[in-house]
């Protein structure tokens, strides 16, 4: 029903409500409060502790407006109850002056601060005029809605109440009755009524759970259907492989595969042998040895007469894979080729032709692989390394270079289970746990500016021992005097003033690939002692002799970034150290430093990072693909997600196409709620 049919909504109000995406009474019913205030009883002013968020009910004692010492307009309110006085202050909001009058009854919400007196800055406020028994605004648990200009809490409360009264009984319950019974979920009418006007916190909790469960249930049903469709798709390539091939491959390696590498290899082997296309995510910490596993997958495909390809996000990494794979597979007579934009036009053309006629059996490359002119004769296997650096569309493009090729995506940023169950619900996952044996742990220190001299001394000592060092900066160039240091400026200064007797190198993202390549070769060949760099070295640098990394202005890096950077060291037979220089100023930054110094476990770090940044940021906008959740939060409500997932998958198993009459409503909901968006969810 159009929202305008509710009493008190004219055309003008309807326009304003549209800004909140409230068009119908249904929208209003599902326009949920962002928090609640228990206005059935209030804290007394004498009991207010500085630092705490409080809801107070008090009387306005006086209103004064003036200026602060810094010449900002300030409006002050003294409010009091029987037990004391507290001040409220608003800065630069002169219009508020007209609003408050002495002797008004007022409810305020905010954080109490202790100055020379107790004060709440910029509190949320509501002037209370009524004291009716069934007031929506006082004497109960009161909903606080997200607002826009020209709409007040009171008005929304009134509308919510009207909508509930006139329309809640028309809602149809889409959750199957057996699911509701099993999870002790309330019916939808109860849930909607209580999410707006809860009779108790207990009711509120039940309402909340019910609404979130429903949202997750629909999402998971969609994932279940999607996964089923992929599973049933039998139009892929059957890659056969046998023990002999695996044994032969192992013999080429200078080391033994770890047990989890073997496990991953087996899982991949069996996926590839199947008629349906493989869709597998290989997770493993930095340095855990994903590349060899991928190499074997590529080899299987080539041995079956197909071409195989591996795409990496940077040219440095692509070149490195090219070298590794050529050296490894050359003895088997496999033709490995490199395609990156840094190649000359003639070379590119030559490789393009080799890819087209099938002569290039394994093609290692960057985004260049996605160019329009690049066509494979028969692509059987597509590997995407550091998949989180690519967008969904790019991953899909690579796969489309073949006819339903098998696909393996790899990441060193493990996907916490929470996300794996939502975003990657249609992927199979292999995990490489731990690092190959013999690696020494990395010790991580956090240091501030006053320790700089001893850090420089430490650098010297490492170099005297024959080791090499990375120093990483957040920027290429300095933006301002006060801002974070830059690689370019510091490279010059360090070379001239601090380490004039040593050889320093500089590498950053704005350099041409030829230049980068040259520097990396020199560093690898030990012709450079200290490599000054930006985040470009985050992926794919493998120099086992480097044993120390200093990260400057480390508070400017994200947790996963820090972890990836640190993964560049600890690759040799020497004890390694990582030094985080800087001063964390926020809680989040402090947490990042702490986590880094405490653990090297990539899974724990990923969980922590997800917690700190939230799912959207964690995944990055590029590969977003997160369905938009309105009510649930996949971190906070993970338990509910797991239950909903179980039930939804079971339902889809029993009624795969939602043909049964009683599941019709779920089918409807799938169509309306996740339409379009879910396309993005998977890698497929
Ligand atoms: P990532 O998983 O970060 O891509 P890599 O595949 O680059 O890691 O492997 C890191 C290093 O570990 C490489 O030098 C590789 O040769 C080595 N490595 C891989 N597997 C093993 C193993 N089972 N034993 C010893 N070293 C290994
Ligand atoms: Mg790798």
- Of all protein residues, whose CA lies closest to atom 14 belonging to ligand 1? 542
Name the residue with tokens 């590969």. 623
For residues 448 and 573, membership in a common domain is answered with yes
Domain termination residue (choose one: 411, 431, 458): 411
Per-residue pLDDT for 285 more than 70? yes
For residues 572 and 446, membership in a common domain is answered with yes
- Of all protein residues, whose CA lies closest to atom 5 belonging to ligand 1? 289
Q: How confident is the model at residue 131 (pLDDT cuts 50, 70, 90)?
A: low
- C-alpha–C-alpha distance, residues 161 and 148, integer Å: 19
Closest to 369 (Cα-Cα) out of 308, 300, 281: 308
- Of all protein residues, whose CA lies closest to atom 15 belonging to ligand 1? 289
Give distance in angstroms: CA of 456 to centre of ligand 1: 30
Whose atoms come closest to the Cα of 385: which ligand? 2
Domain with 100 in it: 41-139
Per-residue pLDDT for 676 more than 60? no
- Atom of ligand 1 at shortest range from CA of 320: 7
Give distance in angstroms: CA of 569 to centre of ligand 2: 14
- C-alpha–C-alpha distance, residues 278 and 268, integer Å: 8
Residue 90 counted as domain residue: yes
For residues 571 and 455, membership in a common domain is answered with yes
Give distance in angstroms: CA of 383 to centre of ligand 1: 17
Domain termination residue (choose one: 106, 139, 172): 139
- Atom of ligand 1 at shortest range from CA of 292: 6
**What are 527's two structure tokens?**
């012709």
**What are 284's two structure tokens?**
């493993």
Pocket of ligand 1 (CB under 6 A): 255-258, 261, 284, 286-292, 412, 436, 542
DSSP code at position 68: -
pLDDT in tens, 303-354: 999 999 999 998 888 998 999 999 999 899 999 999 999 888 999 999 999 9
Question: What CATH code is carried by the domain that includes residue 56?
Answer: 2.40.50.140
Residue of 259, 436, 543 to test ligand 1 pocket, by largest number of atoms within 8 Å of CB = 436
Q: What pLDDT does 509 receive?
A: 86
Residue 188 counted as domain residue: no
- What sign for the dihedral angle of Cα 58, 62, 65, 66? negative
For residues 466 and 357, membership in a common domain is answered with no
Angle of the 188-196 helix axis to the 201-232 helix axis, nearest 10: 130
Q: How confident is the model at residue 154 (pLDDT cuts 50, 70, 90)?
A: confident
Give distance in angstroms: CA of 378 to centre of ligand 1: 29
HSE, side-chain direction, 13 A CA sphere, residue 416: 19
Mean pLDDT, range 641-664, rounded to an integer = 90
Mean pLDDT highest for which of 24-33, 89-98, 390-399?
24-33
Count the domains in the chain: 3
Domain termination residue (choose one: 111, 139, 167): 139
Whose atoms come closest to the Cα of 386: which ligand? 2
Q: What pLDDT does 133 receive?
A: 63
pTM: 0.70
- Of all protein residues, whose CA lies closest to atom 10 belonging to ligand 1? 287
Give distance in angstroms: CA of 327 to centre of ligand 1: 14
Residue of 285, 287, 383 to test ligand 1 pocket, by largest number of atoms within 8 Å of CB = 287
Q: How confident is the model at residue 603 (pLDDT cuts 50, 70, 90)?
A: confident
For residues 337 and 395, membership in a common domain is answered with yes
- Of all protein residues, whose CA lies closest to atom 1 belonging to ligand 1? 287
For residues 389 and 449, membership in a common domain is answered with no
- Of all protein residues, whose CA lies closest to atom 12 belonging to ligand 1? 289
Give distance in angstroms: CA of 656 to centre of ligand 2: 38
Give distance in angstroms: CA of 302 to centre of ligand 1: 22
Per-residue pLDDT for 620 more than 80? no
The answer to whether the CB of 381 falls within 8 A of the CB of 311 is no
**What are 368's two structure tokens?**
């260049």
pLDDT in tens, 576-594: 999 999 999 898 999 999 9
Give distance in angstroms: CA of 334 to centre of ligand 2: 21
Give distance in angstroms: CA of 204 to centre of ligand 2: 47
- Of all protein residues, whose CA lies closest to atom 18 belonging to ligand 1? 289
pLDDT in tens, 412-462: 877 777 777 777 666 788 989 878 876 788 999 999 989 999 999 999 999
For residues 388 and 498, membership in a common domain is answered with no
For residues 464 and 406, membership in a common domain is answered with no
Phi-psi region of 567 (alpha: psi -120 to 50; beta: other; left: phi over 0): alpha
The answer to whether the CB of 174 falls within 8 A of the CB of 75 is no
- C-alpha–C-alpha distance, residues 109 and 88, integer Å: 10
pLDDT in tens, 3-62: 888 888 888 889 989 988 999 999 999 999 999 988 888 899 999 999 888 889 999 999
Residue 453 counted as domain residue: yes
- Atom of ligand 1 at shortest range from CA of 544: 14
The answer to whether the CB of 401 falls within 8 A of the CB of 375 is yes
pLDDT in tens, 226-247: 877 777 777 889 999 988 999 9
Whose atoms come closest to the Cα of 310: which ligand? 2
Q: What pLDDT does 229 receive?
A: 76
For residues 382 and 463, membership in a common domain is answered with no
- Atom of ligand 1 at shortest range from CA of 261: 23
Mean pLDDT, range 110-128, rounded to an integer = 89
Mean pLDDT, range 408-413, rounded to an integer = 88
Give distance in angstroms: CA of 312 to centre of ligand 1: 16
- Of all protein residues, whose CA lies closest to atom 4 belonging to ligand 1? 290
Whose atoms come closest to the Cα of 568: which ligand? 1
Contacts of 134 (CB under 8 A, 6+ apart): none
Residue of 291, 414, 567, 602 to test ligand 1 pocket, by largest number of atoms within 8 Å of CB = 291
Give distance in angstroms: CA of 475 to centre of ligand 2: 24
Q: What pLDDT does 312 receive?
A: 95
Residue 646 counted as domain residue: no
**What are 34's two structure tokens?**
């962002």
Give distance in angstroms: CA of 338 to centre of ligand 1: 21
- Of all protein residues, whose CA lies closest to atom 17 belonging to ligand 1? 289
Residue 227 counted as domain residue: no
For residues 255 and 373, membership in a common domain is answered with yes
Q: Which helix (H) or strand (E) holds 484?
A: none
Question: What CATH code is carried by the domain that includes residue 543?
Answer: 3.40.50.300
For residues 447 and 347, membership in a common domain is answered with no
Per-residue pLDDT for 680 more than 70? no
Residue 613 counted as domain residue: no
Residue of 283, 289, 573 to test ligand 1 pocket, by largest number of atoms within 8 Å of CB = 289
C-alpha dist (Å) from residue 470 to 76, 252, 317, 519, 560? 54, 31, 17, 13, 18
C-alpha dist (Å) from residue 106 to 80, 87, 102, 145, 563? 10, 13, 10, 18, 50
Whose atoms come closest to the Cα of 250: which ligand? 1
Least confident of 152-156, 356-360, 439-443, 498-502: 439-443
Give distance in angstroms: CA of 330 to centre of ligand 1: 19
Residue 428 counted as domain residue: no
Residue 47 counted as domain residue: yes
- Of all protein residues, whose CA lies closest to atom 23 belonging to ligand 1? 257
Give distance in angstroms: CA of 291 to centre of ligand 1: 7
Q: Which helix (H) or strand (E) holds 141?
A: strand 141-144
For residues 453 and 577, membership in a common domain is answered with yes
């Amino acid at each position: 029903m159009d929202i305008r049919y509710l009493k008190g909504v004219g055309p003008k109000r309807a326009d304003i409500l549209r800004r909140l995406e409230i068009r119908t009474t249904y929208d209003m019913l599902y326009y949920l409060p962002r928090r609640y205030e228990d206005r059935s009883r209030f804290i007394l002013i004498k009991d207010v502790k500085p630092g705490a968020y409080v809801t107070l009910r008090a009387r306005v004692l006086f209103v004064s407006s003036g200026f602060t010492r810094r010449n900002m307009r300030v409006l002050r309110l003294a409010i009091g109850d029987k037990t004391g006085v507290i001040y409220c202050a608003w800065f630069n909001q002169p219009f508020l002056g007209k609003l408050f009058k002495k002797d008004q009854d007022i409810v305020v919400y905010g954080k109490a601060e202790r100055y020379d007196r107790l004060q709440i800055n910029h509190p949320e406020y509501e002037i209370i005029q009524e004291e009716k028994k069934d007031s929506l605004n006082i004497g109960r648990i009161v909903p606080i809605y997200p607002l826009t200009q020209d709409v007040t809490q009171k008005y929304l409360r009134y509308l919510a109440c009207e909508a509930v009264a006139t329309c809640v009984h028309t809602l149809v319950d889409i959750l199957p009755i057996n699911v509701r019974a099993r999870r002790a979920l309330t019916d939808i009418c109860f849930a909607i009524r209580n999410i707006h006007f809860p009779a108790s916190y207990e009711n509120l909790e039940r309402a909340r759970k019910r609404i979130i469960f429903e949202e997750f249930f629909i999402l998971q049903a969609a994932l279940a259907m999607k996964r089923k469709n992929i599973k049933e798709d039998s139009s892929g390539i059957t890659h056969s492989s046998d023990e002999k091939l695996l044994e032969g491959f192992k013999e080429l390696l200078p080391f033994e595969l770890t047990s989890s590498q073997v496990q991953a290899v087996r899982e991949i082997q069996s996926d590839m042998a199947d008629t349906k296309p493989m869709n597998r995510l290989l997770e493993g910490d930095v340095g855990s040895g994903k590349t060899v596993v991928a190499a074997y997958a590529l080899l299987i495909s080539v041995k079956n007469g197909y071409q195989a390809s591996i795409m990496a996000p940077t040219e440095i990494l692509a070149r490195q894979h090219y070298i590794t794979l050529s050296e490894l597979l050359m003895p088997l007579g496999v033709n490995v080729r490199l395609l990156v934009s840094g190649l000359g036009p003639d070379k590119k053309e030559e490789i393009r032709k080799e890819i087209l006629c099938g002569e290039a059996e394994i093609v290692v490359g960057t985004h260049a692989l996605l160019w329009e002119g690049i066509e494979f004769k028969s692509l059987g296997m597509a590997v995407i390394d550091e998949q989180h650096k690519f967008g969904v569309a790019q991953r899909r493009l690579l796969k489309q270079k073949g006819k339903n090729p098998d696909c393996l995506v790899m990441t060193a940023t493990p996907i916490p289970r929470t996300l794996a169950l939502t975003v990657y619900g249609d992927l199979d996952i292999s995990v490489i746990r731990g690092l190959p044996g013999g690696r020494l742990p990395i010790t991580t220190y956090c240091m501030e500016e006053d320790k700089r001299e001893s850090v420089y001394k430490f650098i010297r000592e490492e170099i005297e021992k024959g080791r090499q060092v990375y120093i990483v900066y957040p920027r290429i160039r300095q933006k301002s005097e006060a801002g974070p240091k830059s690689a370019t400026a510091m490279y010059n200064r360090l070379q001239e003033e601090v380490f004039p007797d040593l050889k320093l190198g500089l590498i950053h993202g704005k350099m041409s690939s030829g230049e980068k390549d040259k520097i990396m070769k020199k560093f690898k060949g030990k012709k450079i002692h200290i490599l000054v760099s930006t985040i470009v070295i985050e992926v794919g640098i493998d120099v086992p002799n480097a044993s120390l990394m200093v990260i400057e202005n480390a508070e400017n890096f994200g947790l996963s970034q820090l972890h990836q950077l640190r993964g560049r060291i600890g690759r040799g037979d020497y004890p390694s150290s990582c030094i985080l220089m800087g001063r964390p100023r926020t809680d989040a930054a402090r947490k990042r430093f702490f986590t880094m110094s405490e653990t090297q476990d990539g899974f724990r770090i990923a969980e922590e990072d997800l917690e700190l940044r939230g799912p959207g940021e964690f995944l990055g906008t590029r590969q977003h693909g997160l369905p938009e959740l309105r009510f649930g939060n996949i971190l906070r409500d993970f338990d509910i997600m797991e239950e909903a997932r179980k039930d939804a998958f079971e339902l889809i198993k029993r009624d795969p196409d939602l043909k049964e009459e009683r599941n019709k409503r779920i089918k409807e909901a799938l169509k309306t709620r996740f339409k379009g968006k879910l396309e993005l969810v998977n890698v497929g």
